[in-house]
Amino acid sequence: MNKIKNKLKKIRTEDLSLGMFVYDVGRKWFDHPWTKQKKLITSKKEIEQLKEYGIDEVTIDLARGSSPKKIVKEIEKLRGISEKAEQIAEPVEEKPGEPVKTVPLEEELPRARETYFSALQTTREFLADARAGREVNVPKVQANVEDIIDSTFRNRDASLALIKLKAYDEYTLTHSLNVAVLSICIGCHVNFSRQKIRELGLGAILHDLGKTKVPYNILNKRTSLTEKEFRAIKSHTVIGANMLEKTKKIPGNAVSIARHHHERIDGSGYPDHLTEDQIDEFITIAGLADVYDALTSDRVYRKSIPPHEALKTIFALRGKQFDTLWVEKFTQCLGIYPAGTLVKLNTGEIAVVRSVNRSTLLRPNIRLILDPKGVPIFGVKTMNLDAAKFLDINIVGVIDPRTLGLDLSIYF
Ligand SMILES: [Fe+2]
Ligand SMILES: [Fe+2]
């Protein structure tokens, strides 16, 4: 044991260099950027990721990182056989074009809102086109997807905050857009290339297109479905994929999302009962986003559940219906307390989570809405719980907004 310990050395993150083997980042999995604690540093980006998460110090293993021969071997191993985790964390393709500059949440929110509503209008149009048997206007949808991607690159939390605004008439409409926003956020989070995010976003926004061909009374039935009705609902996957296949300029990955977003790694999904590795990253991300948005939305046959409950539900499905690693990445992106969660503080005040601090998922940015006596707080009073001056303030519980009769959308 001592022998092992002697090879370990704590160093400052800024002193890390390529080829060093990080033995421990000193954080739990949801509090650091990697899928595991131990990692050979093979790119400068990995060091930058640690800095972004506010990790100033790491423990390195000199035995595994000090021998040049070993380093080369490890790098070859990572680049060759490559573990699944590395494939997810590392972009395979280069990001084309100019990188988009990030901006603060407050600055992006109005622009993100505009982008969201414009995309909502386009979604309304293409769903109507599909119902009427007209072809989807792909370039128009693609343009909206590009705008969402730009906005998400500028500030991911602004996009995520908007999917809380669910006060619209038609479920498929907002759901289609929200699944696209969520998928794009996850794609950004795992450093997908722009092209991959583009295909992911397009597939996600069109994922339920086939529902336009399922009778309305079946889609919105309040009581339990007959086997025949359930088959009709399930058919939206194949119908949607067939509709898209006939549409020009649709990438294969987008068609695959439409067909396979209900597939699960244990083979329990549909329509093709795919398992494990047959379910690629596009399908997985869209599938997770689909379930999360469905759970957090009101349906005719059941009420929504709060964001953190939805995450808990999805977390329980890891290793069963969804790949464990991807569920963890999804949680990292959304936060333990996702935007829109109503929380109680140790001061007795009630606040709503506005955005997540990905370096400290338990300490998000919040806006106070009720004082300890339950009296509404007027004006915008925000707190970044990660800031030193608020370190005495902690989240002690999560509250279902319906118990207080609150509409949280007014706070975004
Ligand atoms: Fe679906
Ligand atoms: Fe869906």
> For the segment 58-87, what is each residue's pLDDT rounded down to a tens digit?
888 776 664 434 433 433 343 332 233 333
Closest-approaching ligand to the CA atom of 204: 2
Q: Which long-range contacts (CB under 8 A, 24 or more apart) does 15-20 make?
A: 16/41, 16/47, 16/50, 16/58, 16/60, 17/41, 17/47, 18/42, 18/43, 18/44, 19/65, 19/68, 19/71, 19/75, 20/60, 20/65
The mean pLDDT value of the chain amounts to 82
pLDDT at residue 23 is higher than 50: yes
Query: CA geometry: angle at 385 spanning 384 and 391, to 5°?
Result: 135
Ligand closest to 286 (CA) is 2
Distance 143 CA to ligand 2 centre (A): 21
* Distance in Å, CA 237 to ligand 1 centroid: 6
Segment 395-400 mean pLDDT = 83
Tell me how far CA of residue 201 lies from CA of 179, 219, 250, 328, in angstroms: 8, 24, 12, 20
Q: What is the pLDDT of residues 153-203, one digit of tens each?
A: 998 888 888 876 655 557 888 999 999 999 999 999 899 999 999 999 999
Q: What is the pLDDT of residues 202-217, one digit of tens each?
A: 999 999 999 999 998 8
CA 176, 177, 182, 188 dihedral sign is: positive
CATH for 105-334 is 1.10.3210.10
113 Cα: distance to centroid of ligand 1 (angstroms): 25
Spacing, Cα 289 to ligand 1 middle (Å) = 11
Quote the percentage of the chain above a pLDDT of 90.
43
Q: How far is the CA of 258 from the centre of ligand 2 (A)?
A: 9
Residue 83: what pLDDT? Answer: 34
CA of 117 to the centre of ligand 1 (A): 22
**How much distance in Å is there from the Cα of 129 to the middle of ligand 2?**
18
What tokens were used for 31? Answer: 């509090």
CA atoms within a 13 Å half-sphere pointing along the CA-CB vector of 160: 30
Q: CA-CA distance, 78 to 84, in Å (whole number)?
A: 10
Among all ligands shown, which has an atom nearest to the Cα of 171? 2
Distance 412 CA to ligand 1 centre (A): 28
* Confidence band of 255 (pLDDT split at 50, 70, 90): very high
Domain coordinates in residue numbering, the chain: 2-83, 105-334, 342-411
Task: Provide the pLDDT for residue 85.
Answer: 31
Ligand 1 center to 200 CA (angstroms): 15
Compute the distance from residue 135 Cα to the ligand 2 centre, in Å.
Answer: 20
* Ligand 1 centroid, distance to 409 Cα (angstroms): 25
**Cα of 294 to ligand 1 centre, how many Å?**
10
**What is the Å distance from ligand 2's center to 255 Cα?**
14
Both tokens of residue 394?
Answer: 């902690």
Tokens of 380: 């915008």
Q: How far is the CA of 209 from the centre of ligand 1 (A)?
A: 8
The alpha carbon of 163 and the centre of ligand 2 are apart by a number of angstroms equal to: 14
% of the chain beyond a pLDDT of 70? 83
- 97 burial (CB, 10 Å; 0-12 / 13-18 / 19+) is exposed
Which range is least confidently modeled, 202-206, 215-219, 231-235, 347-351? 215-219
User: What are the tens digits of pLDDT across the range 291-313?
Assistant: 999 998 888 778 888 888 888 89
Is the pLDDT at 88 greater than 60? The verdict is: no
Phi-psi category of 97—alpha, beta or left, where left has phi over 0 and alpha has psi -120 to 50? left
Ligand 1 mean position, distance from CA 261 (Å): 6
As a whole number of angstroms, the distance between CA 412 and CA 409 comes to: 6
- For residue 37, report the distance from its CA to the centre of ligand 1, in Å: 35
Nearest 5°: the CA angle 368, 174, 366 is 15
Q: Which two tokens stand for residue 107?
A: 């600055």
Identify which ligand lies nearest to the alpha carbon of 240.
1
CA of 150 to the centre of ligand 2 (A): 23
Ligand 2 centroid–CA 297 distance in Å is: 11
Q: What pLDDT is attached to residue 73?
A: 43
